């Protein structure tokens, strides 16, 4: 088993057994109803690129849908992290996504590069 998978497996095992050892993420509090999405502040520090582009609206002939983007985002005025999620065309709404540190992004890159696509 690779070091990355071992680390992930240990993290999930330990998280279930002793949550007091880990810092809760803001999503834990949202899921428990303790804070609302409107309490979350974010700043898109850098737009890296779109993974999928919005479909063209037939009526308008312009892009009006959602796109999946990789951005560098500061959540609640913290250190920026890489973030992959769906965004509405005007960036006023967001879908569920995943936030990664630089190290996690590099590990993901290595995993993707190892695939035979």
The pLDDT value given to residue 18:
47
- Residue 23 near residue 11, CB atoms below 8 Å: no
CATH number of residue 111's parent domain:
2.30.31.70
- Residue 85 near residue 94, CB atoms below 8 Å: yes
Residue 43: which residues within 8 A CB-CB, separation 6 or more? 73, 74, 77
Range of the domain at 11: 1-39
- Torsions phi, psi of 15, nearest 5? -60, -40
* pLDDT tens by residue, 10-51: 555 555 544 444 455 555 555 555 555 567 899 999 999 999
The pLDDT value given to residue 2:
52
The pLDDT value given to residue 73:
96
The pLDDT value given to residue 58:
56
On whether both 111 and 80 belong to a single domain, the answer is yes
d(CA 69, CA 87): 7
* pLDDT tens by residue, 39-93: 789 999 999 999 998 766 555 555 568 899 999 999 999 999 999 999 988 888 8
On whether both 16 and 73 belong to a single domain, the answer is no
Number of domains, the chain: 2
pTM, two decimal places: 0.61
On whether both 113 and 72 belong to a single domain, the answer is yes
The pLDDT value given to residue 90:
85
On whether both 2 and 54 belong to a single domain, the answer is no
């Amino acid at each position: 088993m690779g070091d990355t998978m071992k680390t992930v497996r240990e993290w999930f095992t330990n998280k279930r057994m002793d949550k007091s050892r880990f810092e809760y993420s803001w999503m834990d509090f949202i899921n428990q109803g303790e804070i609302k999405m409107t309490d979350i502040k974010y700043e898109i520090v850098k737009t890296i690129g779109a993974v999928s582009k919005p479909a063209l609206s037939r009526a308008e002939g312009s892009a009006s849908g959602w796109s999946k983007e990789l951005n560098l985002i500061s959540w609640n005025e913290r250190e920026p992290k890489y973030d992959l999620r769906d965004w509405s065309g005007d960036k006023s709404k967001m879908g569920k996504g995943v936030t990664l540190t630089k190290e996690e992004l590099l590990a993901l890159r290595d995993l993707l590069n190892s695939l035979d696509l």
